[in-house]
Amino acid sequence: MAVTYDKIATTTLGSAQTTVSFSSIPQTYTDLIVIINAKANTGGVIGQLAQFNGDTGANYSFTYLNGNGSSASSGRVTGTTNQAWADLAGSSTSPNTIIAQINNYSNSTTYKTTISRGSDANNVAQAIVGLWRSTAAITSILLFPNSGIQFASGGTFTLYGIKAA
């Protein structure tokens, strides 16, 4: 019988790396879920960013909600070249978990919306909704920390597919 919640690919970093990519994503699922447990290899908290299908144009935007332990805040970035999923833990702390969900990724009719949650106990609880203004089916995802920072060794990145009836 077909599997409904299926692991498509997983990567564990053996050394610091600037990017992680999932390519040739099967178009046989309904939704995608990316689960990240990682941190930056240097410095403090940094944004965890994503691009789809190699699109480096200003076709991304996102709205975020943060709680830092003393206050809640919200902000937005528009017309930018990448999409933030959550903050990535800094090098001196434990890795944090980021879960990003992309519903209906393979249709060629709607723009693609991602909902992500970041859980960094040392820093912030976050939820972010991001838009990629493209009707193309998502066939690849590129992940990278902001500002040229690298993912630290040991980070894990897993892509799942969910298949509706």
List residues near another protein by CB under 8 A: 1-5, 30-31, 61-67, 71-76, 78-79, 101, 103-104, 107, 109-111, 113, 115, 117, 127-131, 133, 135, 162-165
CA atoms within 13 A on the CB side of 131: 12
> Which CB, 16 or 115, lies closer to another protein?
115
**Shortest distance, CB of residue 124 to another protein, whole angstroms?**
12
> Which CB, 93 or 101, lies closer to another protein?
101
Assess contact for 87 and 126: CB atoms under 8 A.
Answer: yes
**Shortest distance, CB of residue 73 to another protein, whole angstroms?**
5
**Shortest distance, CB of residue 83 to another protein, whole angstroms?**
9
Query: What is residue 149's three-state secondary structure?
Result: coil
Beta strands (DSSP E) in 68-122 are 72-80, 83-88, 96-103, 112-120
d(CA 49, CA 146): 6
> Which CB, 42 or 53, lies closer to another protein?
53
One-letter identity of residue 81: T
